[in-house]
């Protein structure tokens, strides 16, 4: 057999095994897209001219109160099961209220705290009512209760999401929260808004267009027989370069999304 015949003989087999490897990689690698919005809904003021505004939540003083929404979308082609979702706020902030939902198609399920967290909370509350019988809760435990909310998630299917909200008190300038999913081969990425996504797309296409155009312009100028042909060829080359830039961006985006499924 000639080398060309051998190549055509092993090419289908190689493509088959490459396809299997790609699918196994896709199923192993999980991408979770997160989005967080923070809105300050109350502000305490102590001003000599305007006076004093006090902010309290159920009698608890707060400098500021924030309402936070977050969402986690499984944009991969595989599900993840039996994991802990940890929601945390920065130091010096306190979570007053929290809720989380597992959006599984037409039915939504309320997520519960982990058993260990629930037991520690129960022990702390019991000790407040009867300090002689309940276990001792350290100041570090209380700070952890104030700043963190661990949830137990049974399964997050592909294409499904988790949504939640927090009511938080603390200093000014709170702009985000920490979200953790501690599983191997799981990556949390931030969801881009439409304006930023369009800007990144335009920048990508413009750079590719310039790159292709310089290449085509060099070839036209080098091999053209007259100035007129060179100018016309350069102008046509720009439009072809713009088309190639868009096509390359489309292929790049398709492959990027394909490997995340």
From 2-6, 22-26, 81-85, 131-135, the region with the lowest mean pLDDT: 22-26
pTM, full prediction: 0.66
Q: What is the pLDDT of residue 105?
A: 74
Type and span of the H or E element at 160: none
Distance CA 229, CA 231 (A): 6
Q: What is the dihedral of CA 246, 251, 257, 261, to 10 degrees?
A: 150
Residue 193 gets which letter from DSSP? P
Residue spans per domain, the chain: 31-191, 195-260
Q: What is the pLDDT of residue 24?
A: 47
Of 6-10, 153-157, 161-165, 228-232, the range with the highest mean pLDDT is 161-165
Q: What is the pLDDT of residues 80-121, one digit of tens each?
A: 889 999 999 999 999 999 999 999 777 889 999 999 898 888
Quick one: average pLDDT of 3-31?
Answer: 49
Quick one: average pLDDT of 58-82?
Answer: 90
Q: What is the pLDDT of residue 22?
A: 44
> Checking phi first, is residue 170 left (phi over 0); if not, alpha (psi -120 to 50) or beta?
left
Judged against a pLDDT cut of 50, whether residue 247 lies above it is answered with yes
Largest CA-CA distance found in the chain, in angstroms, rounded: 99
Strand partners for 66 = 40, 168
Q: What is the pLDDT of residue 64?
A: 93
Distance CA 110, CA 181 (A): 18
Residue 1 gets which letter from DSSP? -
Judged against a pLDDT cut of 80, whether residue 1 lies above it is answered with no
The CATH number of domain 31-191, selected from 3.30.565.10, 1.10.10.10, 2.60.40.290, 3.40.50.1980: 2.60.40.290
Strand partners for 211 = none
Judged against a pLDDT cut of 50, whether residue 11 lies above it is answered with no
> Checking phi first, is residue 29 left (phi over 0); if not, alpha (psi -120 to 50) or beta?
beta
Cα 250 to its chain centre, rounded Å, is: 22
Type and span of the H or E element at 183: none
Type and span of the H or E element at 121: helix 115-129
């Amino acid at each position: 057999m000639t080398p060309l015949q051998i190549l055509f003989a092993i090419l289908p087999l190689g493509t088959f095994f490459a396809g299997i490897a790609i699918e196994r990689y896709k199923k192993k690698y999980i991408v979770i897209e997160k989005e967080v919005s923070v809105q300050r809904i109350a502000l305490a003021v102590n001003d000599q001219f305007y006076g004093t505004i006090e902010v309290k939540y159920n009698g608890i003083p707060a400098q500021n109160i924030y309402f936070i929404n977050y969402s986690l979308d499984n944009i991969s082609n595989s599900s993840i099961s039996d994991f802990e979702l940890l929601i945390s706020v920065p130091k010096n902030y306190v979570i007053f209220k929290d809720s989380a939902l597992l959006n599984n198609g037409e039915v939504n399920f309320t997520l519960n705290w982990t058993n260990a967290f629930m037991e520690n909370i129960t022990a702390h509350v019991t000790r407040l009512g009867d300090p002689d019988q309940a276990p001792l809760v350290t100041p570090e435990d209380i700070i952890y209760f104030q700043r963190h909310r661990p949830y137990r998630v049974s399964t997050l299917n592909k294409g499904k999401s988790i949504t939640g909200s927090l009511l938080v008190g603390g200093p000014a300038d709170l702009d985000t929260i920490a979200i953790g999913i501690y599983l191997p081969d799981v990556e949390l990425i931030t969801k881009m808004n439409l304006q930023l996504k369009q800007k990144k797309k335009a920048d990508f296409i413009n750079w590719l267009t310039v790159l292709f155009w310089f290449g085509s312009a060099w070839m036209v100028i080098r091999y053209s027989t007259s100035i007129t042909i060179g100018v016309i060829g350069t102008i046509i080359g720009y439009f072809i370069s713009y088309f190639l830039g868009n096509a390359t961006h489309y292929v790049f985006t398709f492959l990027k999304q394909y490997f995340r499924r």
